[in-house]
C-alpha cells in the first residue's frame, strides 16, 4: 500500500468513528478533564495542519528509507496505552462550533495531505523534519505519524461514544434527581495546589493563544489584551485586570474570579463552565455566542453587557447589576436572578421558563407578555408584570 493509500484508509477509519457519534454526544466529555468528540476532531485537524506545514517548509536531506522505523513510529503513535500531553499549540480552542464544520475541515486537510504526498512521491525520503519527540524524521515517517495520530483518536472517539452511551441512563437519572431536588449548580473543580503567579504576559504559549491553567493569579494588570483564544482552566484569579480584552473565543472552565476587572471584554465566543465570578466588574461585556453552564455571579456589575442569544444553564446571579444589559433571545430557563437589578435590561424574546426572579428589581425591564410566561415571581413583581398581561389589579 502506498503512503497516499495509507492516508486514504486512515481517513475512512477516522470518519467512520466520528460518524458513529450520536448528535447529543458531540460535547460529552469522559470525566472532568477529557476531550469531547468535537475537541478531538479539532485536535486531529490542528496536528495534521502542523505536520503538513513542517514538511512543506522542511530542508532537503540525503535520501533515507527505513521501513522498520516507519512501522515502529506508527505503532508508538497509534497506541493509546501511552498517554502523551498534547502541546499547547494543538490543544482544542473552540475553533469549530459544530461537528459537521470540524469534519469538513478534516476532509480538507487530509485531502491536501494526500495530494501533496502523491505529488512528492519518492522525494518524501529526502525531506528532513525535526520532531520535538522523535527527533529527525523524513517525510515518509512524518506521514506515518499523521496516519497513526488520526487512527489513535479514532479509537478515542469510539471510547467516548461507548462511555456516553453506557452512562446515558445514569445521566438521565441524575438530571431527574436534580430537577426533583430543585436548583443545583456544580462548583468549580479546582486543584489543591495551584502555582502562584504575579507577573503578566507569561500565558502566551504559542502566538496569539493565551492559556492559564492550574494557576493562582493575583494583582496582575493586563488590560486591552488581544488573543485568538483566552483559555482559563482550573485556576483562581484575584484582582486581575483584563478590561478591554478582545478575543476570538474565551473558554473558562473550573475557574474562580474574585475582584477582577472584566469590563468591555469582547469575545465572539464566550464559554463558561463551572465558573464563579465574585465582586467582578463586567460592564460592557460583549459576546455574540455566549454559552454558560453552572456559573455563579455574585455582586457583579454587568451593566450594558451585550449577550444576545446567550445560553445559560444552571446559572445563579446574586446581587448583580444588569441595568441596560442586552439579553434579547437569551435562554435563562431554570436560572436564578436573586436580589439583582434589571431596570431597562432588554429581555425581549428571552426564555424565562422556571427562571426565578424573586427579590430582584424588575420595574423598567424591557420584556413581552409571552417572554415572562412560566417565570417565577413574587407578589410585588406580579404587580409590575400585570400590565404586560392586560390585568387590572384593584
228 and 112 belong to one structural domain:
no
Query: For residue 107, how many other CB atoms are within 10 A of its CB?
Result: 13
CATH number of the domain where residue 253 is located: 2.160.20.80
Considering 155, 180, 205, which residue would you say is the last residue of a domain?
180
167 and 20 belong to one structural domain:
yes
125 and 258 belong to one structural domain:
no
176 and 207 belong to one structural domain:
no
Q: Which residue range forms the structural domain that includes residue 255?
A: 195-386
Using DSSP, state whether 42 is helix, strand or coil.
Answer: helix
Considering 157, 180, 203, which residue would you say is the last residue of a domain?
180
255 and 139 belong to one structural domain:
no
Contact 362, 342 (CB under 8 A): yes
212 and 339 belong to one structural domain:
yes
Beta-carbon contacts of 289 under 8 Å, excluding residues fewer than 6 positions away, are 97, 268, 269, 270, 309, 310
Distance from CA of residue 200 to its chain's centroid? Answer: 23
Torsion (CA) 315, 316, 322, 328 in degrees, nearest 10: 30
Beta-carbon contacts of 31 under 8 Å, excluding residues fewer than 6 positions away, are none
148 and 199 belong to one structural domain:
no
216 and 84 belong to one structural domain:
no
- Please give the model's pTM, rounded to 2 decimal places: 0.57
3-state helix, strand, coil in the chain (%, to 5): 35, 25, 40
- Print pLDDT tens along the chain (394 aa): 799 999 999 999 999 888 877 666 777 676 545 788 899 999 999 999 999 999 999 999 899 999 888 888 888 888 776 677 888 889 998 899 889 999 999 999 999 999 999 999 999 999 999 999 899 999 999 999 999 999 989 888 887 777 665 555 554 454 454 444 568 899 998 877 788 876 666 665 444 678 888 889 999 988 898 888 888 999 999 999 999 999 888 999 999 999 999 999 999 889 999 999 999 999 999 999 999 999 999 999 999 999 999 999 999 999 999 999 999 999 999 999 999 999 999 999 999 999 999 999 999 999 988 888 899 999 889 888 887 766 666 6
226 and 339 belong to one structural domain:
yes
Per the structure, how many domains does the chain have? 2
Amino acid at each position: 500500500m502506498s503512503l497516499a493509500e495509507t492516508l486514504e484508509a486512515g481517513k475512512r477509519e477516522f470518519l467512520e468513528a466520528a460518524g458513529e457519534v450520536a448528535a447529543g454526544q458531540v460535547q460529552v466529555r469522559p470525566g472532568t478533564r477529557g476531550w469531547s468528540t468535537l475537541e478531538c476532531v479539532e485536535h486531529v485537524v490542528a496536528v495534521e495542519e502542523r505536520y503538513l506545514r513542517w514538511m512543506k517548509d522542511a530542508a532537503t536531506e540525503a535520501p533515507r528509507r527505513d521501513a522498520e522505523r516507519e512501522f515502529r513510529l506508527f505503532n508508538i503513535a497509534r497506541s493509546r496505552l501511552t498517554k502523551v500531553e498534547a502541546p499547547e499549540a494543538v490543544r482544542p480552542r473552540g475553533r469549530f462550533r459544530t461537528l459537521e464544520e470540524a469534519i469538513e475541515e478534516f476532509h480538507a486537510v487530509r485531502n491536501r495531505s494526500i495530494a501533496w504526498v502523491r505529488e512528492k512521491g519518492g522525494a518524501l525520503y529526502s525531506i528532513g523534519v525535526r520532531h520535538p519527540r522523535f527527533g529527525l524524521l523524513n517525510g515518509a515517517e512524518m506521514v506515518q505519524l499523521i496516519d497513526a495520530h488520526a487512527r489513535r483518536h479514532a479509537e478515542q472517539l469510539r471510547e467516548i461514544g461507548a462511555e456516553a452511551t453506557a452512562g446515558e441512563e445514569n445521566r438521565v437519572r441524575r438530571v431527574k434527581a436534580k430537577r426533583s431536588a430543585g436548583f443545583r449548580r456544580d462548583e468549580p473543580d479546582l486543584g489543591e495546589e495551584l502555582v502562584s503567579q504575579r507577573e503578566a504576559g507569561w500565558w502566551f504559549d504559542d502566538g496569539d493563544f493565551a492559556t492559564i491553567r492550574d494557576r493562582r493569579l493575583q494583582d496582575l494588570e493586563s488590560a486591552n489584551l488581544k488573543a485568538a483564544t483566552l483559555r482559563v482552566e482550573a485556576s483562581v484569579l484575584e484582582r486581575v485586570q483584563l478590561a478591554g480584552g478582545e478575543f476570538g473565543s474565551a473558554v473558562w472552565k473550573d475557574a474562580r474570579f474574585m475582584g477582577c476587572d472584566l469590563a468591555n471584554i469582547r469575545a465572539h465566543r464566550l464559554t463558561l463552565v463551572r465558573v464563579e465570578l465574585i465582586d467582578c466588574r463586567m460592564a460592557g461585556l460583549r459576546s455574540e455566542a455566549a454559552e454558560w453552564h453552572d456559573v455563579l455571579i455574585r455582586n457583579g456589575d454587568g451593566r450594558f453587557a451585550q449577550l444576545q442569544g446567550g445560553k445559560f444553564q444552571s446559572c445563579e446571579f446574586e446581587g448583580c447589576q444588569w441595568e441596560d444589559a442586552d439579553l434579547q433571545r437569551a435562554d435563562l430557563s431554570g436560572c436564578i436572578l436573586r436580589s439583582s437589578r434589571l431596570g431597562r435590561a432588554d429581555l425581549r424574546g428571552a426564555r424565562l421558563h422556571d427562571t426565578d426572579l424573586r427579590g430582584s428589581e424588575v420595574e423598567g425591564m424591557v420584556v413581552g407578555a409571552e417572554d415572562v410566561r412560566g417565570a417565577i415571581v413574587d407578589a410585588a413583581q406580579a404587580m409590575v408584570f400585570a400590565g404586560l398581561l392586560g390585568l387590572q389589579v384593584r
